[in-house]
Structure 1
Amino acid sequence: MPSVLLSLVTWNSADSVEACLRSALAQTYSDFELWVVDNASRDDTCTRVEALAATDARLKLHRLPQNTGFCGGHNYALDRTQSDYVLLVNPDVEMQPDYLAQAVAAMQRDEQIGTVCGLLVQSLEADPYIDSAGMNALPDGRFGLRLHRQRVSEADLTPGYVDGADGALPLFRRRFIDDLRVEDHFFDPRFFAHKEDWDVAWRGRLYGWRTWFEPSCRALHPRQFLPANLRLRNRLASAIKTDAVKNQWLLLIKNTTPAQAPRLLLQAIPRQLAIMAYSVLFERSSLPAYRYVWQHWREAVESRKLIQARARRGWAAPAPQAVERPARPAGVGAPAFH
């Protein structure tokens, strides 16, 4: 069994997937298997993936009959594999050849490290803008991209612990994945896409896991989705904006601890009420997010009970020999929100 699974979820990704896969297959750390889980693409994504798969047996294509989102696609791969580590790969990422080798080496620094994230840059110019260098936890229940839009030459790129990893290219330890499962899901399928990396980062911190930023891991990621930018937001599909609103409420419901609640909610609720007012006045396409949260309130509270109970136990060193999880039989994951 390969020691690393590279999990890549595609949906109409034909314009970028070949360059992404070529960079993955060119990694100097070669003990990996690469799964492409396609969410019912309507373009020629699968044709392009199949052509590359014919040249490298490590590349496997898994077609899903419906779009299960970022969360459902990666859950499909995580539930059916047993590798020691998993590298999530966005289809618009291009890695330097030693990204995986450097990330695996960084993971060995401390058994409490559950995630390693690298330096993602927005272009191939000599001194590019940084896309992300991990994430910072904000006091209102959100996460921000570390060093976003700073020039590489001007940023402090010291390796070290950070609050979380952006979802574009994190390396996860398998024990971390299995520990964070709630109702047998690593990624909450209700999120579909967007802010699921915030959810994982928050839950990991609650459980005592740590995230390491390793700048020697470097990759290209020309990010497009920034919902706080109103000019860009106006061009986004309604479903994307709805997910962004819905998932913030799910984050707060599930992950806010009793100790955090007074200060965090004092800062989070005014912002969320302002977003609700904005939706009513200017972005009515986002209002289904509130209906969804209302309809699924009880399920979110049940998830909260499980998360808070696990958080109270804190982090514990691994047992001498981990119990192997049986692979789940093939099939499609939880229904999509859309």
Structure 2
Amino acid sequence: MPSVLLSLVTWNSADSVEACLRSALAQTYSDFEFWVVDNASADDTCARVEALSAADKRLKLHRLPQNTGFCGGHNYALDRTQSDYVLLVNPDVEMQPDYLAKAVAAMQRDEQIGTVCGLLVQSQEADPYIDSAGMTALPDGRYRLRLHRQRVSEAALEPGYVDGADGALPLFRRRFINDLRIEGHFFDPRFFAHKEDWDVAWRGRLYGWRTWFEPSCRALHPRQFLPANLRLRNRLASAIKTDAVKNQWLLLIKNTTPAQAPRLLLQAIPRQLAIMAYSVLFERSSLPAYRYIWQHWREAVESRKIIQARARRGWQPASGPTTPTQLSARPEPAAVVV
């Protein structure tokens, strides 16, 4: 069994997927299998993947009959593999050849490291802007990209522990993945897409896991989605904006500990009320997010109980329990494997 699974979820990704795949298949660390889980693309994404898989048997295409989002697609791969490590790969990422080798080496520093993230830059120019260098937790329950839009030459790029990893290219330890499962899922399928990396970072910190930033791991990632940018936000599909609003409430409900609640909610609630007012006045397409939270409140609270109970046990070393929490019996879509 290969030591690393590369998991890539595609949905109409034909414009970028070939460059992404070629950079992954050219990694100097070659002991991996590469799953591409396609969410019912309508373009020629699958044809492009198949063409490359014919020449490299490590690459396998799994076609899902419906769009399960970022969360569902990666959960599909995670639930069917057992590698020691998993590298999530966005279809618009291009890795330097030694990214995976250096990330795996960084993971060996400490068994408490559950995630390794690298330096993602926005262009191939000599001194590019930084896309992310991990994430920083904010006092109102949000996360922001570390060093985003700073020039590489101007940033303090030291390896070390950070609050979380951006979802574009994190390396996870398998034991970390299994420890964070809730009702069988690593990624909460209710998120579909957006802020699921915040959820994983927050839950991992609650359980005592750590995230290591390794700047020698470098990749290209020209980010497109920043929901706080109102000019860009106005051009986004309504479903994306609804997910962004909905998922922030799910984050707060599930992960806020009793000790955090007074300070965190004092800062989070005014912002969330302002977003609600903005939605009522200017972005009514986001209002279904509040209906969703109302309708699924009990399920979110049940998830909260599981998370908070696990958080109270603190860090669990390798000799502790490693089995997934409450495996789910919910059916998943069958895939066509190419």
**CA distance in 1 between partners of 2:209 and 2:284 (Å):** 39
Q: CA deviation at 1:226?
A: 0.2
Is contact 1:95-1:218 (8 Å) kept? yes
Local SS of the residue matching 2:304: helix
Local SS of the residue matching 1:61: strand
| TM norm structure 1 | 0.94
Q: Relative to 1, partners in 2 of residues 1:212 and 1:324: Cα closer, same or farther, differing over 3 Å?
A: closer
Q: CA deviation at 1:220?
A: 0.1
- 1:145-178 per-residue CA deviation (whole Å, 9 max, x = no partner) reads 0000000000000000000000000000000000
Q: Pairwise mapping of residues 207-246 of structure 1 onto structure 2 (< 5 A)?
A: 207-246=207-246
Q: Relative to 1, partners in 2 of residues 1:167 and 1:336: Cα closer, same or farther, differing over 3 Å?
A: farther
- 1:180-227 per-residue CA deviation (whole Å, 9 max, x = no partner) reads 000000000000000000000000000000000000000000000000
**CA distance in 1 between partners of 2:117 and 2:317 (Å):** 24
Q: Pairwise mapping of residues 50-199 of structure 1 onto structure 2 (< 5 A)?
A: 50-199=50-199
Q: CA deviation at 1:324?
A: 13
Q: Relative to 1, partners in 2 of residues 1:105 and 1:323: Cα closer, same or farther, differing over 3 Å?
A: closer
Q: Relative to 1, partners in 2 of residues 1:286 and 1:325: Cα closer, same or farther, differing over 3 Å?
A: farther
Local SS of the residue matching 2:47: helix
Q: CA deviation at 1:28?
A: 0.1
Q: CA deviation at 1:327?
A: 15
- 1:218-267 per-residue CA deviation (whole Å, 9 max, x = no partner) reads 00000000000000000000000000000000000000000000000000
Q: CA deviation at 1:298?
A: 0.1
| TM norm structure 2 | 0.94
Is contact 1:117-1:133 (8 Å) kept? yes
**CA distance in 2 between partners of 1:143 and 1:336 (Å):** 36
Q: CA deviation at 1:137?
A: 0.1
Q: Relative to 1, partners in 2 of residues 1:261 and 1:68: Cα closer, same or farther, differing over 3 Å?
A: same
**CA distance in 2 between partners of 1:108 and 1:86 (Å):** 14
Q: CA deviation at 1:300?
A: 0.1
Is contact 1:32-1:58 (8 Å) kept? yes
Q: Relative to 1, partners in 2 of residues 1:22 and 1:326: Cα closer, same or farther, differing over 3 Å?
A: farther
Is contact 1:138-1:144 (8 Å) kept? yes
Is contact 1:190-1:337 (8 Å) kept? no
**CA distance in 1 between partners of 2:109 and 2:319 (Å):** 23
Q: CA deviation at 1:328?
A: 14
- 1:267-304 per-residue CA deviation (whole Å, 9 max, x = no partner) reads 00000000000000000000000000000000000000
Q: Relative to 1, partners in 2 of residues 1:269 and 1:281: Cα closer, same or farther, differing over 3 Å?
A: same
Is contact 1:4-1:32 (8 Å) kept? yes
Q: Relative to 1, partners in 2 of residues 1:72 and 1:326: Cα closer, same or farther, differing over 3 Å?
A: farther
**CA distance in 2 between partners of 1:323 and 1:131 (Å):** 33
Aligned sequence identity (%): 91
Is contact 1:2-1:31 (8 Å) kept? yes
- 1:122-143 per-residue CA deviation (whole Å, 9 max, x = no partner) reads 0000000000000000000000
Is contact 2:191-2:243 (8 Å) kept? yes
Is contact 1:191-1:337 (8 Å) kept? no
Is contact 1:70-1:193 (8 Å) kept? yes
Aligned to 1:270: 270
Unaligned runs of 5+ in 1: 316-320
Q: Relative to 1, partners in 2 of residues 1:124 and 1:273: Cα closer, same or farther, differing over 3 Å?
A: same
Local SS of the residue matching 2:336: coil
Unaligned runs of 5+ in 2: 325-333
Q: CA deviation at 1:336?
A: 18
Q: Relative to 1, partners in 2 of residues 1:114 and 1:302: Cα closer, same or farther, differing over 3 Å?
A: same
**CA distance in 2 between partners of 1:322 and 1:33 (Å):** 27
Q: Pairwise mapping of residues 241-256 of structure 1 onto structure 2 (< 5 A)?
A: 241-256=241-256
**CA distance in 2 between partners of 1:59 and 1:328 (Å):** 28
Aligned to 1:318: none
